[in-house]
Amino acid sequence: MCEIKGENELNFFEFSNFYKLKKTYICIYILMQKIELKIVGLSYSHSQSSAYALILGEVRGNRRLPIIVGGLEAQAIAIEVEKLKPARPLTHDLFKTFAENFDITVKEVIINKFQEGIFYSILVCEKNGKLIEIDSRTSDAVAIALRFNRPIYTFENIMSVGGVILDQDDQEIEILEEEDVDVDVSAFSNLENTALEDLLRSAIEEENYERASEIRDELKKRKK
């Protein structure tokens, strides 16, 4: 029988336990690393009616995080992405004005939990040097992050469960892409740019953002 002797000789079982403990800490560290995300697209959801799929993608990677959001929340996100100016401030615009008037800054948004198919988020805010975490729906958190021009993060453990991997050749989803609904833009084709711009302003003033998005798309086509 072989015995390990000597005070300086390493006990096999002690080494094994140390290695397992170190490996556990490394795994936890990796899983809790923050991953920065960006908005890749916003499309009509095929799985749920009157809902949209918000697609967030890794800034340094090819994984995507699809999140189902409501129509109003999708509209709030799309308006800011497309830099449309509503006639009256929306809820998230009001939040930004309120926060700025009381010297509250949003530092970042973190999608911090994925449970039973639902993503949960927090707003990391700062006031007078003190950090405060506020629970938020992910759709609201993203809309607020856009208005404050702040980064959106998640963790590896959430990305590994809720994320999907796309090939590099896959095309990114356009904002407010509507594959199954035929949009009639023939009414715009014969109009001059100045007329379209007037219609765009009118649609925004009337808070008809879907029509405003269609007119904006027609103007973008002509600029190509």
Q: What is the pLDDT of residues 4-59, one digit of tens each?
A: 444 444 455 554 555 555 555 454 444 568 899 999 988 776 666 668 889 999 99
Instruction: Please report, for the chain, the start and end positions of each structural domain, with discontinuous segments joined by +.
Output: 32-181, 182-224
Mutual angle of helices 71-81 and 91-101, in 10-degree steps? 60
Give, as one character, the DSSP assignment of residue 6. Answer: S
Q: How many Cα atoms occupy the beta-carbon half-sphere of 39 within 13 Å?
A: 24
Pair 53, 59: CB distance under 8 Å: no
The yes-or-no verdict on residue 179 having pLDDT over 80 is no
Q: Which has the closest alpha carbon to 92: 52, 133, 61, 136?
A: 136
Pair 154, 111: CB distance under 8 Å: yes
- Residue-level pLDDT at 204: 73
The yes-or-no verdict on residue 183 having pLDDT over 50 is no
- Residue-level pLDDT at 140: 95
Q: Which has the closest alpha carbon to 220: 187, 193, 195, 201?
A: 193
Q: Which has the closest alpha carbon to 106: 80, 72, 140, 67?
A: 140
Pair 51, 33: CB distance under 8 Å: no
Spell 189-204 as b/e; 16+ CB within 10 A means b. Answer: eeeeeeebeebbeebb
| Mean pLDDT computed over 138-148 | 95
Q: What is the total residue count of the chain?
A: 224
| CATH numeric code, 32-181 | 3.10.690.10
The yes-or-no verdict on residue 172 having pLDDT over 70 is no
Pair 134, 122: CB distance under 8 Å: yes
